[in-house]
Structure formats: structure tokens, C-alpha cells
Amino acid sequence: MEKPVAKTNSEKLYAVLAELPEFTNNFFYFGSANRSVLTKLNYALDLRYFFEYAVNFYSYFPDKSVKELSLDDLKMITAVDIDNFVSWMTENQHLKDKTLARRRTSISVLFEYLINTERKLEYNPVSGSSSIKIDLPETVTYLTFDEQNVLLDCIKNGTGLTKKQQAYHEKYKERDLAIVFLFLDTGLRVSELQALDVDDVVIFENPYHPEKNECYVNALRKGHKRSNNTSKVYFSDESKDYLRAYLDSREMKGEKFKEGTPLFITLEGTRLSIREIQQMLKKYVKASLNRSDISVHKLRSSFAMEFYKHEKNILVLQQRMGHKSMAATNIYARASDKEEAVKESRNWRNKQDK
């Protein structure tokens, strides 16, 4: 029996859109054109969830289905209705504040589009409802430089791997070392790294003016996928050495690189999937550090925390992380500063004598 083919995010989006009221069509086709498919899918799921609640709990819509809702129906929704919706999710669904806030935002974005772009509504009930405060994390899970070195030693030398894992280690280690170090060196997201091609790697060396040397990858960063505008993500000389060693090993096996050749591949020559990258890292983290809390995203956090500790430049960190909002970058700066302050307070009693 053949396995059913998994639906793409685009297919999932179209399926959900077919269930939504007609007045949402322009919002998805035009109003959110610069959003990724995944973001639009999340909007669609959140709106379907809200409209299902509306037809079941608001007295304004007797015997109406979600698909039958109109703009006139939307005009009847009040700020109190939005608060009741949030309260219902809290009490009956036990959702996290982050999820509650996202669903509330999805509703607000639709209302703002219908007010400001289509000029078909005059009031956004979400703006008058109670806001949801999301507590930012006080700490960040990450690997220190020492822990990173233990992980890298495992990849380089197979330290801690089982005999079965070591049997295949030589085939993978140059690739895996280049991947993991590039994560730790740049803070790339897994989707950004996985999508890289060989011709996205730029290494420029000037033997007469080393200060003019440049090493970077042209990465399509989150938030820019619609425009297809790539960004230069710089990497260090050590990353350069690992990438060169990996690419040289492929050329020695007779591979010819052409435009669009994936940077990181399986033994069969296909592009390494995000899941395969995640599973690869999980194996090395388990063998070297015996931890289960370090994901690929935590390597990104590891870069951010160690970079800020040593550079103390939050603006550069924001750019290197590809954050649109400084608030996202501040999480790392605040956690790093707090960690440092706690360590420095160790001899707080001695300060009383000064």
C-alpha cells in the first residue's frame, strides 16, 4: 500500500482558504503578498478558529456557517467579544500566552487590512480589547565555547560515538563539521542553511591586502523569501577551512559543481533535508554532551549568546541574526548581561569594605 503524499504548505493553505468567508480572499492574495506561505497558513488557521468560535458562541450569527459570514456580520463584533474569545481559549483550550497573542494578532491584521486598505470597515475590535502580555525568557539555553568545543571534537574525531556510528563517521564528518561550525559561526537558521547552494559560498582572498579578504554566503533570510533578496552572512576563516575541505572532498570524488548544486548533500547526492540536519545534530549532542535540550535552533542561540558576550554590539548582532525587530535580539543581550552580572556578584561581600 502506497503512503499518502504529504501536502505542501501551499496545498494546506488553499484547503483552509476554501473554508473561509469570501471577504478574506483579497487579504490573502494581496494584503499578505509579502508574507511567506507558512505565515499565511498560520493566519488562515487562526482566522478559521476564530470564525468557528464566532458562529458557535456569538448571538449575532444564528444558523450561519463560517463560509456564510459577511462584512456586515464582522461589523457587529465588539472588543468585549474578542476578550470573551481569549478567555474561552484560556479556560477551555489551556493555550499558552504566545498562542493566544498570535491568534489575537491574526484577527487584528485582517481587520486592519479591511479598514485601511479596502476601506470596508471603520472599527477594529481587537484594538479595544485587553492586550496579552507575553513574558520574555529570562534565560537562554545555549552551548558555551567550552561545550561547543566538546561537540566539535566529537564530530572531528568520533569521540563518544558508538561502534556502529563510527563505521559511517568518516563518510560524514567533513560535511557535518562544516554544517555545525557554520551554525555556531553565523547564527543561520536551519531553513536558511539547508537551502544554500555551492555557488552561494563566496570566498575572496587578496594575497597583497589580507584586510580586504571576504568570506560569506548569500542566504535567503526569513522575511525576504517573497522578494528573493539574499543577504551576505559572513563567516570566519575557520568556517572557510571546513567548507573548503568538504567541497574539495566532493570534487576529489569526481563531482562537478554547477549552478544550483546543493551545498550540503546526502551520500546519494540529494540535498540534505532539515529533518536530516536535525537528526545529525541530535546524534552528536547525545554522544558528546549527553543532552537532549540542544536543537539546531539552540546552535543559533549559542552563536548569539557568545557573540554578544565578546562583541557587546547589539546592532551588529541584530544584523547578523537577521532580526527585523530589536526586541528579538534583546532577548540574548538581556540574558547575557544578566548572566554576567550574576557571576560578577559572587564576591559581593568584599564590596562592602570599599
For residue 225, what pLDDT is reported?
55
Specify the higher pLDDT residue, 30 or 307: 307
Q: Does residue 219 share a domain with residue 189?
A: yes
Same-domain check for residues 122 and 156: no
Structural domain span for residue 175: 145-344
Same domain, 340 and 213: yes
Is residue 198 domain-shared with residue 114, that is, in the same domain? Answer: no
How many structural domains comprise the chain?
2
Please name the residues in contact with 311: beta carbons below 8 A apart, sequence gap of 6 or more.
317
Residue 290 has pLDDT above 80, yes or no: yes
Q: What is the pTM of this model?
A: 0.70
Q: Residue 293: CA atoms inside 13 Å, Cβ hemisphere, count?
A: 6
Contact indicator for 249, 265 with CB cutoff of 8 Å? no
Instruction: Over range 120-149, report the average pLDDT.
Output: 88
Same domain, 92 and 239: no
- What pLDDT shows up at residue 353? 59
Instruction: Answer yes or no: do 44 and 151 share one domain.
Output: no
Q: Which amino acid is at 161?
A: L
pLDDT at position 193, please?
95
For position 1, what pLDDT does the model report?
A: 46
- In DSSP notation, 138-153 reads SS-----HHHHHHHHH
Q: Residue 138 falls within a domain, yes or no?
A: no
- In tens, the pLDDT along 162-221 reads 999 998 899 999 999 999 999 999 999 999 999 999 999 998 866 666 777 789 999 988
